[in-house]
């Protein structure tokens, strides 16, 4: 396995000459660490829309993102809810916070976050990653990490790996371990989660055999008038309004109701999660959620804003039906007849072969190479010892 620069540096130091690493980095920050992070953008991606951080800041962000000790019970990190191998989600129906609180929504993927625009399932005005992270760090309803901003800097100062890492990122600051810097480094790291080497991308770049025949047939269906998928999941990130062939018509995402619920025949949603409606109070916003990116979608299950889908095939079935029918259970109703459903969801028919091909196309959107990239994995040993990856930082008690 490739050695990551950060882990090689800090990890090897800690393992071989515990304590010695800190001094050498603080007193003589390496030039390499101050250089911009070597961002390898896929050739067909748009330019990176944020400043590229230094290697040192990116490395620090990686540590913080994966460190359980940022949370109130030393058991939740950003990375435990946004895990690389699960397409930067957590595999849960809805997220579960440090104190066992359940979130009302399914964890969103962070893949290619840099190009997302407005963040979260519901808030069109929330664009700043630092503003967004106030919720998982400090939110009370639910508690996600329960981080205490008044004690975290001191706590980090007492953990061997952090003083040299903060000093390398802010070499001119005599006391760089601050909450502002924690947030700055976290944002820098999450924006570097770039993944554009899927079979679909390789196909786009001219490698015609990168997708199987079924995946290619599924792609034709995805971008057809019949299914209309590409009209909502358009553009390179599958999250912009577009013409049927996927050519974007706007750089803003849409917030839509796809007919998942129709409680009492009035288009109602489960009252704890009504989407954009909860922000605006407007009835017509009932059940509207941001169109999610489909990159990595085969790994981000369960799916839907509330994690109520266990299989991609079921999602395709319900689009074909023109809305979801729920019989029995707490929220019965026929989403096909919801007054708030987007008019483009009208249903269509697919043969069993075509159905499988459409799902096969969704499976061509996974970047296996990114999943193995050390920079996108936790640098701490706790999880990695099992996988035989020993070039990692032991977590101190």
In terms of CB distance, is 14 or 70 closer to ligand HEC?
Answer: 70
Q: Is 321 exposed, middle or buried (0-12, 13-18, 19+ CB in 10 A)?
A: middle
Residues 154-193 that bind ligand HEC (CB under 6 A): 186, 190
Q: Give me 293's structure tokens.
A: 């990116």
Q: Give me 167's structure tokens.
A: 């000093």
In terms of CB distance, is 13 or 81 closer to ligand HEC?
Answer: 81
- 202-88-290 Cα angle (round to 5): 90
Q: Where are the alpha helices (DSSP H) in the chain?
A: 5-6, 12-16, 20-27, 31-34, 55-66, 78-81, 129-138, 152-157, 162-169, 179-191, 199-204, 213-222, 229-232, 276-280, 312-321, 352-362, 368-372, 381-384
300 makes contact with ligand HEC (CB under 6 A)? yes
Q: How far is CA 291 from the centre of its chain?
A: 14
234 makes contact with ligand HEC (CB under 6 A)? no
Number of residues that bind ligand HEC (CB under 6 A): 53
Residues 238-257 that bind ligand HEC (CB under 6 A): 256
Candidate segments 127-135, 204-212, 242-250, 370-378, binder of ligand HEC by CB under 6 A: 127-135
113 makes contact with ligand HEC (CB under 6 A)? yes
22 makes contact with ligand HEC (CB under 6 A)? no
> Do 306 and 287 form a contact (C-beta atoms < 8 A)?
no
> Do 98 and 144 form a contact (C-beta atoms < 8 A)?
yes
In terms of CB distance, is 9 or 90 closer to ligand HEC?
Answer: 90
Give the strand pairing for 289-290 and 255-256.
antiparallel
200 makes contact with ligand HEC (CB under 6 A)? no
In terms of CB distance, is 121 or 170 closer to ligand HEC?
Answer: 121
376 makes contact with ligand HEC (CB under 6 A)? no
Shortest Å distance, C-beta 223 to ligand HEC? 10
Q: Supply φ then ψ for residue 63, to 5 degrees.
A: -60, -50
Alpha carbon distance 116, 134 (integer Å): 18
Residues 342-371 that bind ligand HEC (CB under 6 A): 342, 344-345, 358, 362
In terms of CB distance, is 3 or 344 closer to ligand HEC?
Answer: 344
- The DSSP annotation for 95-134 comes to -B-TTSPBPSSPPPP-TTGGG--S-TTT-TT---HHHHHH
**String of b and e for 341-352 (b: at least 16 CB within 10 Å)?**
bbeebeebebee
Q: Residue 325 in 3-state DSSP? A: strand
201 makes contact with ligand HEC (CB under 6 A)? no
In terms of CB distance, is 235 or 304 closer to ligand HEC?
Answer: 304
In terms of CB distance, is 336 or 391 closer to ligand HEC?
Answer: 336
Q: Supply φ then ψ for residue 96, to 5 degrees.
A: -120, 125
Binding mask 44-83 for ligand HEC (x = CB under 6 A): --------------------------------x-x--xx-
Binding mask 204-233 for ligand HEC (x = CB under 6 A): -----------------------xxx-xxx
SS3 content of the chain, % helix, strand, coil (to 5): 40, 5, 55
Candidate segments 209-217, 299-307, 365-373, 382-390, binder of ligand HEC by CB under 6 A: 299-307
Q: Which residues make up the interface to ligand HEC (CB under 6 A)?
A: 76, 78, 81-82, 95, 97, 103, 105, 107-108, 110, 113, 116, 119-122, 129, 132-133, 136-137, 144-145, 186, 190, 227-229, 231-233, 256, 258, 260, 289, 291-292, 294, 297, 300, 303-305, 312, 315-316, 319, 342, 344-345, 358, 362
């Amino acid at each position: 396995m490739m050695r990551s620069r950060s882990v090689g540096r800090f990890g090897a130091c800690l393992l071989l000459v515990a304590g010695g690493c800190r001094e050498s980095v603080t007193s003589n920050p390496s030039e390499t660490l101050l250089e911009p992070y070597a961002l390898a953008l896929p050739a067909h991606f748009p330019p990176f829309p944020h400043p590229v951080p230094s290697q040192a800041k990116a490395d620090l962000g990686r540590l913080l993102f994966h460190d359980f000790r940022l949370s109130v019970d030393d058991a939740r990190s950003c990375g435990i809810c946004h895990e690389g191998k699960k397409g930067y989600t957590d595999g849960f129906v809805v997220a579960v916070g440090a104190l066992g609180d359940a979130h009302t929504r399914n964890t969103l993927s962070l893949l290619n976050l840099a190009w997302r625009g407005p963040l979260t399932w519901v808030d069109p005005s929330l664009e700043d990653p630092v503003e967004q992270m106030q919720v998982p760090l400090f939110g009370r309803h639910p508690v996600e990490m329960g981080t205490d901003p008044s004690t975290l800097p001191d706590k980090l100062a007492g953990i061997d790996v952090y003083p040299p890492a903060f000093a390398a990122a802010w070499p001119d600051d005599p006391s760089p371990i601050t909450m502002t810097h924690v947030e700055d480094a976290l944002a820098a790291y999450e924006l570097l989660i770039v993944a554009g080497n899927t079979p679909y991308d390789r196909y786009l770049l001219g490698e015609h055999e990168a997708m199987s025949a079924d995946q290619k047939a599924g792609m034709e269906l995805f971008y057809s008038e019949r299914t209309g998928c590409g009209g909502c999941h358009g553009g390179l990130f599958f999250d912009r309004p577009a013409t049927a062939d996927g050519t974007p018509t706007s750089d803003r995402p849409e917030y839509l109701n796809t007919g998942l619920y129709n409680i009492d025949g009035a288009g109602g949603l489960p009252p704890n999660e009504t989407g954009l409606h909860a922000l605006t109070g407007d009835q017509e916003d009932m059940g509207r959620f941001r169109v999610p990116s489909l990159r990595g979608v085969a790994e981000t299950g369960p799916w839907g804003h509330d994690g109520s889908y266990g299989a991609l095939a079921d999602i395709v079935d319900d689009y074909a039906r023109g809305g979801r029918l729920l019989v029995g259970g707490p929220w019965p109703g026929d989403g096909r007849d919801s007054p708030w459903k987007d008019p483009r969801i009208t249903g269509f028919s697919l043969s069993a072969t075509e159905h499988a091909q459409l799902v096969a196309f969704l499976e061509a959107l996974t970047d296996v190479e990114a999943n193995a990239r050390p920079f996108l994995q936790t640098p701490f040993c706790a999880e990695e010892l099992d996988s035989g990856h020993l070039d990692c930082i032991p977590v101190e008690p």
